[in-house]
Each structure stands twice: as structure tokens, then as C-alpha cells.
Structure 1
Amino acid sequence: MRPRTLSGRYARTAYLFLLPAILFFAALFYLPIGNVIATGFRTGPMADQWTGLSNYAQALSDPSVRHSFLVTAVFAVLVVIGSIVLGLALALAIDQPLKGRVAFRVLLLVPYLTSVAIVGLLWRNILDPELGVLNRVLLALGLPTQQWLNTAPLLTIAAVTLWQSVGYTMVLFLAGLQGIPETYHEAAKIDGADAWRRFWRITLPLLGPTTLFVSVMAVISGLQAFGQAYIITGGGPGDATDLTVFHIFNVAFRTRDFGYSSAQSVLLLLVIVAFTVIQLRAGRRGEVTY
């Protein structure tokens, strides 16, 4: 009986130390999620009228909601592909014995450590067609100016997102590269494999877990993107950058329909969970161990 009492004592002590964190997450995470789910079943200015599943049915049949999901899906695909390709390319470059690579890592990480609001305002001032720094430089060089925020605006905010986040992705891939045993590459060199074949046959497969993590995080952040559309383009031109969270924000705070916006938020949460589960299962099937 004494070991059981002792283990119970350890368990009570552990739960006691975990209690502040549990209360913190319950108050700031789980309770708000529960409140959003409950609000999704209600309607009215104060979300005080029970409406059942009508908000969800309306969201599934609403063309504007479907359009925002489509825009967000394209944006997320651009962010995922860009994060993997650019992050891996920069990691491969910095992994070489070059001078100043530490300073280069720091410079690439600075945008990631900067808030989305500051990054959005910075690039809005750079890309503004009338007063933007980039067009002023083009004028000084005698080149024609461009409507940066009107031509391919979704690609523009995706590029800004990648500019901000690629440093973090690079660090993840760099950690993965440094975790690959050098003996694998040495053995491949002895067998006559060139650098390109070593990359495809050794480096890329062994970076599978890192690539999976990067893709999952990029999908989640891409589907939850808001600040880029709100600050840089305002959802425009038209509804070209009407990302889902931005659309939900407009429904909640401009039309004051909190029940309908909550239903859309729950649907977005389900989409994120579904994509995450699919990616994790696909990644486990192709996981490489060493």
C-alpha cells in the first residue's frame, strides 16, 4: 500500500503544480472556444435567440463564404510551397562553411520576430501605388511604376507572409540538416553519388519529419491569416484577398452578426483540424527513421 500511496502523493503534487497552467488554458482557450461554439447556434444582435444549425447551413450555402475559403486555400498553398522551397534553399546555403552566415541567420529571423501589424504597415508603405517607396525608386530610375496592390494582390500578400516567416522555416530546416549523420553522405560519396543524388536520396528523405512540421504549421498559419489582408489590401481589390478570418471579422464587427460569424469560425476550425490530421497521417506513412 505504501508505494501506491507514494505514487498518489506524487500525482497530487504534479497536478497541484499544473493547476495554474490548467486554469490559464481553461480561461483563455477552452472557455472561449466553447463560447464560440455555443454562439454559433444562436442569432440576433446579442446572439440571444436559439437558431439551431441554421447558421451552419447558411454558411455552407453562402457564395461569399465559399469564395473566402477558396481564396484562403490558394493563399495557404502559396505559403506552404514557398515556405518549404525557400526555407530549405536558404538552410542548404547557410549550412555551408561561409563567412558571415551567423549574421545572415539573424537578419532573416528579424522579420519573423516582428509583429504582423508592423510588417503589414511597412509593406503597405513600400507598395503603395502613389506614395510607395518602391514606385519612387522606379521613377528615379526612369522605369514605369506598377500597381503592386492591384495586380495579383493575393500573390503579393503571400510574398509578404513568406518574407516574414521564411527565417523561422530556415532555422527548422537547418536544425534538420545538422541532425543528419555525416556518415551517410560520406558513404554515398564513396559509392560515387554526386551532390544532387545525395540530396534526393539522403537529405530530402531524412528531412521528412521537419518538412511535415513545416507544412503543418504553414497550413495552419495560412488558413488563419488575417493581418495581411486587413492592413495591406483591406480585402481588396474587390474581394480578391478576402481571407476567411478577414471575412469572419467583417461579419462579426461590421454586420454585428456574431452567431453567423461564430458558425463560420467553427467551420474554419474543423477545416484546420481535418487538414492537420490528414497531413500527420500522410507524414507517418512516409516517415523515415535512422
Structure 2
Amino acid sequence: MSLSARYARTAYLFLLPALVFFTAFFYVPIANVIATSLHTGPQADVFAGLSNYADALADPSVRHSFLVTLGFSGGVVAGSLVFGLLLALVLDQPLKGRVTFRAMLLVPYLTSVAIVGLLWRNILDPQLGILNRLGLDQQWLNEHPLATIVGVTLWQTVGYTMVLFLAGLQGIPETYQEAARIDGASAWQRFWRITLPLLAPTTLFVSVMAVISGLQAFGQAYIITNGGPGDATDLSVFHIYATAFKTRDFGYSSAQSVLLLVVIVLFTLMQLRAGKRGEVTY
């Protein structure tokens, strides 16, 4: 056996456990969901073909939940990019105690969505919330529910985004900045012409992950607002959950799940293709 063949065999042996794991807990469940989406009835035992997909595409409530999810994802992506980069730029400076601040900002990300949701639901409760007890009368959950869960999501995740941008900033060669200073470039010019373009790979990764997590969001709507008021925060996954476990229509909910998966894959491919066009190498 040649040396390259032995290397290939060794590589496949190391990959085998991961392949088995993903097959058993990812690909097989997806195949089961696709199969369920082609059936109808309380037990999803009556073959229905593509009728569930046609019904989902024509359902106004499904379209509404998708539009709400797009708004939520857009807010999360924009906030993650802006606030994560700003915090990274500040904490990349030689400030006293910056390691402590980095750790403090990362703690919410290490906390589960359930705990964060319960925490902010109590803080923002219009009757018994902490803000009301302090005399700051507010109705955020009733008047601005979608903006509220976007803000809570950013509060939880911006520390992780900051860490990613910090890694990107520290990977930029200092010689570029020094050369720009010698040429008389201002701080803004150095940021716009050097730092931002060289952060393109990090920015792409952050935006892709933010879009995926935004389109898959569930806990925020379930715990903080329960999809309300009305259907103002009826995110797609929450809508799928309600369809599956309240109406017991598992075939229809599975079809919605598959459609959401297709949308997530398409968005991801579009972002990766756009990022590849603007790829910066150094």
C-alpha cells in the first residue's frame, strides 16, 4: 500500500466517528422530517405528496411569521456587526482592566437562553418589572415587542461577536497600520481603508452565524413574549412549534421546517458567495 493510501485510510478512520455521529443525529432525523412532511393526519400516516408544502406557501400566517423572522434576523445581524465591532475596537486598546471587561461581556453568552429570557421577562414586566419599581414606567413588551427581543438577543450574544472581531483585529499585521501612519493617514482613513477590508473574513463569519441563529430563534419568543402580543413576535420556529404541538399537525409542521431549512441554506450560500467575491487576502 502506498504512503498516500495509508494517509487516506488513517484520515478516514479519524473521520469515521464524526460521520457516524452526524449520520445518526443529523442526517437521519432530517430524512425522517422530510418523510413526515409528505404525510398528513393526526399520526402523519396518510400520504399527501407535496400538498403540505403548497398549503404552507399559501398560508398567510406562515408568510407573516417568516416576515417577522426576517425583521428579527436583520436587527440581530446589524446589531451584531455594529456593536460587536465597536466593542472590539475599544477593548483592543491598551486600557486598564480590559481583560475583565471582555470577560464580563462574554458572561451573558455563556448563559442559557432560558435563563436570559426569564431574567429579561421579569425586568421588562409592565406591572411588576424592576424598571417599573425604579419609577421607569415602560411598556416595551406591549409596544415594541420585536425590538425588545432583538435587544435582548444582542445583549446576550454581542460578547461572543466582540471576541470574534478581537481575533480578527489581532490578526491584522501591524506593519499595515505603521505604513499608513507614516503616509499621514488619519485614524478614520486607517479604519476604513485598512482595518475594515482586512476584517472581511471575520465580518462574513459573524454575519453568516447571526443570520443562521436569527432564522432559528425560538427561546426569545417562547419565553419572553410567547409569540405576542397578538402575532407580533411569531417567529418561524415558534410558529412551527405551535403547529406541531398545539394542532398536532406534524406533517404540516414538518413541511414548514423543511422550507425554513431551505431558506437558511439559500441565505448562507448567498452570503458565502458574496463574501467570496469581496475576499481580501494578505
CA separation in 2, counterparts of 1:198 and 1:13?
A: 47
CA separation in 2, counterparts of 1:265 and 1:253?
A: 14
In the TM superposition, what whole-angstrom CA distance separates every residue of 1:12-34 from its partner, at most 9, and x where no partner exists? 44433433222211111111000
Instruction: Report the AA paired with residue 227 of structure 2.
Output: G
Q: Which residue of 2 aligns with 1:151?
A: 143
CA separation in 2, counterparts of 1:276 and 1:57?
A: 24
Structure 1 residue 228 corresponds to structure 2 residue 220: yes
Q: Which residue of 2 aligns with 1:89?
A: 86
CA separation in 2, counterparts of 1:166 and 1:59?
A: 34
Structure 1 residue 217 corresponds to structure 2 residue 209: yes
In the TM superposition, what whole-angstrom CA distance separates every residue of 1:67-116 from its partner, at most 9, and x where no partner exists? 00000000000000000000000000000000000000000100001110
Q: Which residue of 2 aligns with 1:16?
A: 13
The RMSD of aligned alpha carbons is 1.1
Instruction: Report the AA paired with residue 201 of structure 2.
Output: P
Q: TM-score, normalised by structure 2?
A: 0.98
Instruction: Report the AA paired with residue 151 of structure 2.
Output: A
Q: Which residue of 1 aligns with 2:267?
A: 275
Structure 1 residue 200 corresponds to structure 2 residue 197: no
Q: Which residue of 1 aligns with 2:181?
A: 189
CA separation in 2, counterparts of 1:264 and 1:101?
A: 45
CA separation in 2, counterparts of 1:83 and 1:20?
A: 34
Residue 41 of structure 1, aligned match among 22, 38, 42: 38
Instruction: Report the AA paired with residue 231 of structure 2.
Output: D
Structure 1 residue 137 corresponds to structure 2 residue 134: yes
CA separation in 2, counterparts of 1:187 and 1:251?
A: 59
In the TM superposition, what whole-angstrom CA distance separates every residue of 1:144-199 from its partner, at most 9, and x where no partner exists? x1112101100000000000000000000001101111111111111111101111
Residue 257 of structure 1, aligned match among 249, 259, 269: 249
Residue 240 of structure 1, aligned match among 232, 239, 242: 232
What secondary structure is seen at the aligned counterpart in 2 of 1:129?
coil
Q: Mean Cα displacement is larger for which, 6-15 or 241-250?
A: 6-15
Q: TM-score, normalised by structure 1?
A: 0.95
- Could you list the structure 1 runs, at least 4 aligned residues long, displaced by more than 6 angstroms after superposition: none
Residue 32 of structure 1, aligned match among 25, 29, 33: 29
Structure 1 residue 66 corresponds to structure 2 residue 58: no
What secondary structure is seen at the aligned counterpart in 2 of 1:150?
helix
Instruction: Report the AA paired with residue 284 of structure 1.
Output: K
CA separation in 2, counterparts of 1:66 and 1:266?
A: 15
Residue 161 of structure 1, aligned match among 127, 134, 153: 153
Structure 1 residue 102 corresponds to structure 2 residue 99: yes
Number of equivalenced pairs: 282
Instruction: Report the AA paired with residue 246 of structure 1.
Output: F
In the TM superposition, what whole-angstrom CA distance separates every residue of 1:233-274 from its partner, at most 9, and x where no partner exists? 000000000000000000000000000000000000000000
What secondary structure is seen at the aligned counterpart in 2 of 1:275?
helix
Residue 48 of structure 2, aligned match among 51, 66, 72: 51
What secondary structure is seen at the aligned counterpart in 1 of 2:165?
helix
Instruction: Report the AA paired with residue 191 of structure 2.
Output: F
Instruction: Report the AA paired with residue 218 of structure 2.
Output: F
CA positional deviation for 1:210: 0.4
Task: Give me the identity figure in percent.
Answer: 79
Q: CA distance change for structure 1 residues 114 and 57 in 2, over 3 Å: closer, same or farther?
A: same
Gaps of 5+ in 1: none
CA separation in 2, counterparts of 1:21 and 1:182?
A: 39
Instruction: Report the AA paired with residue 174 of structure 2.
Output: E
What secondary structure is seen at the aligned counterpart in 2 of 1:236?
coil
CA positional deviation for 1:9: 4.4
